[in-house]
């Protein structure tokens, strides 16, 4: 139900985050709140909620989608009453982008709650506009202040769509209650290859009843069908409320295209472009960029997903892409062809950015784990590095030689939650320093049993929780996300693995180690 904000009414940050900011209607204040006299049918409307993303100390990307060609108008304020406007931006929403639009708000104050509102205006006739919706984000700090964020992945997978009678995508509501500063989605925002049927039988004899749409009822192949997968998620009120209130740091994995896809060899009947690239992947990539609130990159890299997001002196987040530059083989020992999972350019970029980072903590957000055995991923089984493991070995040994410390890997993909500690004393390959990797998901998809680990890099499953079989429905409660808290005074990182009921399943405090790089000092906390 829409919640109206009237003059004189004030919501604190907790109230805004807990309530459905995606449906706030604004009246009586500011240029975007002026009444427009026109027929309702003439007014362009927001169809899929609003969201922010890639937030920095002084800027953020704002996204929305209209129901027709329109001009998106955005303004923001440091207070929820919008008495003082501190930033504005505008951009067109046109048919070529399925009426999605993004703007960059910049020149913002650091470390503050920012409230923004969005409305669409008619391109053809001045003065005709739809109602505004209000969202929130927090800019990154420039001082050593505490940071809290969440991560997970895997949304609407294995046929488990939106069952309104079971609360829809409940994990998004639970994460909203945690009030994170931002959220890392580790990939599989959609399952383009998993159609949604009207009903699914449950092992207890019950029925799961999905909302259904035409575009989500088939395996996606056309651009419209890929777009329809993203629009389907926005039908869920918890999804809309979460994204209006919490900034998104987005990366992708395989199901944004199709299961286990690789750059070469993944195609549908339409085949390949003249340069040999897959037309199916191109359509999927286009839809992903249209619907994600990501910053624009250089024209020659307009489809790049890997990037660094600096979030104050305590945290740099390195969003990597383990799909776009990998080899096109399955991960098998008897295949002796050249292999990679990051690719030379991305690996070189990651090394440079890690060396340049002054942040206490370097979080590497990966779309799949290192040590869990999988034909689609990295690990092959016990023994020294082979195939894709060579890139990981190269990266880990580089970080040791360069004195780069306090790296933590976060991922999803496996449809259960786990804490892995990697130690050279347990490893076949030993030229690296110990580190943690945390796995959490699914957000709203089938749950799986824990997978086996190999000893190449010495991982130990300190904690894991999944199910005993496969594709357990979300209604059975095994849906997971992770929460990270960095204390502004001690710089200690606390990682907590949580479930859809907001239960804290397992937690660890990690103390930062002193920087070992020449000329760089960092306080050591005992």
Instruction: Report the half-sphere exposure of 179 (CA within 13 A, side-chain side).
Output: 11
Residue 37 has pLDDT above 60, yes or no: no
Check whether 26 has a pLDDT greater than 60.
Answer: no
Q: How many CB atoms lie within 10 A of CB 375?
A: 10
Residues 269-313 pLDDT 10s: 888 888 888 999 999 999 999 999 999 765 556 689 999 999 999
Distances (CA, A) of 296 to 96, 185, 292, 299, 319: 17, 18, 11, 8, 15
Domains and CATH numbers, the chain: 3-138 (2.60.40.380), 147-510 (3.60.21.70)
Least confident of 32-46, 89-103, 220-234, 448-462: 32-46
pLDDT at 125: 82
Q: How confident is the model at residue 269, as a pLDDT?
A: 83
pLDDT for residue 20: 37
- The predicted pLDDT at position 375 comes to 86
Q: Supply the pLDDT for residue 23.
A: 36
pLDDT score of 324: 94
Model pLDDT for residues 53-85, shown as the tens digit of each residue: 999 999 999 999 999 999 999 999 999 999 999
Residue 423: its pLDDT value, please? 98
Q: What is the pLDDT of residues 220-249, one digit of tens each?
A: 999 999 999 999 999 999 999 999 999 999
Q: How confident is the model at residue 333 (pLDDT cuts 50, 70, 90)?
A: confident
Strand pairing partners for 439? Answer: 411, 418
Distance from C-alpha of 69 to C-alpha of 444, rounded to nearest angstrom: 32
Flag whether pLDDT at 146 surpasses 50: yes
- Mean pLDDT estimate for the chain: 90
Judge contact between 361 and 512, C-beta under 8 A.
yes
* Percent of the chain topping pLDDT 70: 89
* Beta-sheet strand order (sheet of 87-93): 3-5, 24-26, 133-138, 113-122, 70-77, 87-93
Q: Does the structure show a pLDDT above 70 at 32?
A: no
Q: Average the pLDDT over each of 93-102, 284-293, 330-339, 410-419 and give the range with the smallest value.
A: 330-339
Q: Tokens 């383009």: give the residue.
A: 192
Residue 371 pLDDT greater than 50, yes or no: yes
The lowest-confidence range among 201-205, 397-401, 426-430 is 201-205
CA dihedral 109→115→121→127, nearest 10 degrees, is -90
As a whole number of angstroms, the distance between CA 315 and CA 141 comes to: 10
Q: Is the predicted pLDDT of residue 28 greater than 80, yes or no?
A: no
Sequence-distant contacts of 29-35: CB under 8 A, at least 24 apart: 29/81, 29/82, 29/83, 30/75, 30/77, 30/82, 30/83, 30/85, 30/117, 31/75, 31/85, 32/73, 32/75, 32/117, 32/118, 32/119, 32/129, 32/132, 33/82, 33/117, 33/132
DSSP 8-state symbol, 207: E
Higher-pLDDT residue of 450 and 268 is: 450
DSSP state letter for 456:
T
Is pLDDT of 116 > 70?
A: yes
When pLDDT is cut at 50, 70 and 90, the band that residue 519 belongs to is low
The beta strand positions in 281-422, using DSSP E, are 307-310, 315-319, 361-365, 407-411, 417-422
pLDDT of residue 288: 97
Paired sense of beta strands 199-201 and 207-209, if any: antiparallel
What per-residue confidence (pLDDT) applies to 41?
75
Q: What is the mean pLDDT of residues 5-11?
A: 33
Indicate if the pLDDT at residue 512 is higher than 90: yes
Contacts of 423 (CB under 8 A, 6+ apart): 434, 458, 460
């Amino acid at each position: 139900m829409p919640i109206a904000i009237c003059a004189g009414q004030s919501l604190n940050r907790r109230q805004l985050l807990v309530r459905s900011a995606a449906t706030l209607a604004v009246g009586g204040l500011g240029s975007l709140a002026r009444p427009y006299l026109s027929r309702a049918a003439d007014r362009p409307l927001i169809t899929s909620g609003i969201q922010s993303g890639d937030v920095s100390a002084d800027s953020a990307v704002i996204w929305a989608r209209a129901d027709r060609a329109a001009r998106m108008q955005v303004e923001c304020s440091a207070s929820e009453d919008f008495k003082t406007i501190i930033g504005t931006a505008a951009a067109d929403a046109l048919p070529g982008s399925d009426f999605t639009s993004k703007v960059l708000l910049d020149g913002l104050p650091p470390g503050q709650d920012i409230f923004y509102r969005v409305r669409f205006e008619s391109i053809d006739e001045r003065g005709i506009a739809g109602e505004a919706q209000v969202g929130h984000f927090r800019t990154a700090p420039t001082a050593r202040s505490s940071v809290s964020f969440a991560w997970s992945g895997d949304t609407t997978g294995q046929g488990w769509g939106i069952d309104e009678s079971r609360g829809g995508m409940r994990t998004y509501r639970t994460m909203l209650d945690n009030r994170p500063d931002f959220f890392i989605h580790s990939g599989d925002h959609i399952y383009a290859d998993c159609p949604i049927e009207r009903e699914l039988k449950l092992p207890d004899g019950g029925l799961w009843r999905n909302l259904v749409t035409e575009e989500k009822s088939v395996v996606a192949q056309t651009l419209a069908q890929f777009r329809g997968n993203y629009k389907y998620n926005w039908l869920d009120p918890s999804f809309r409320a979460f994204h209006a209130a919490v900034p998104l740091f987005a990366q992708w994995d395989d199901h944004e295209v199709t299961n286990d896809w690789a750059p070469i060899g993944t195609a549908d009947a339409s085949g390949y472009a003249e340069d040999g690239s897959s037309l199916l992947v191109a359509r999927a990539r286009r839809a992903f960029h249209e619907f994600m609130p990501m910053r624009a990159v250089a024209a020659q890299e307009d489809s790049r997903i890997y990037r660094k997001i600096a979030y104050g002196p305590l945290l740099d987040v390195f969003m990597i892409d383990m799909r776009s530059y990998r080899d096109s083989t399955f991960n098998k020992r008897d295949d002796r062809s050249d292999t990679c999972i990051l690719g030379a350019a991305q690996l070189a970029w990651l090394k440079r950015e890690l060396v340049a980072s002054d942040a206490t903590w370097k979080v590497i957000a990966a779309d799949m784990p290192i040590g869990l055995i999988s034909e689609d991923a990295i690990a092959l089984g016990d023994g020294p590095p082979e195939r894709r493991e060579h890139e990981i070995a190269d990266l880990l040994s580089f970080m040791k030689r360069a004195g780069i410390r306090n790296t933590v890997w976060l991922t999803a993909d496996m449809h259960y939650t786990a804490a892995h500690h990697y130690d050279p004393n347990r490893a076949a390959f030993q030229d690296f320093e110990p580190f943690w990797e945390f796995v959490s998901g699914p957000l709203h998809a089938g749950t799986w049993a824990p997978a086996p680990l190999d000893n190449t890099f010495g991982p130990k499953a300190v904690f894991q929780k999944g199910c005993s079989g496969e594709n357990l429905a979300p209604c059975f409660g095994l849906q997971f996300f992770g929460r990270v808290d960095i204390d502004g005074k001690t710089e200690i990182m606390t990682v907590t693995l949580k479930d859809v009921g907001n239960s804290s399943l397992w937690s660890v405090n990690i103390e930062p180690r002193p920087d070992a790089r020449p000329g760089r000092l960092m306080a050591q906390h005992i």
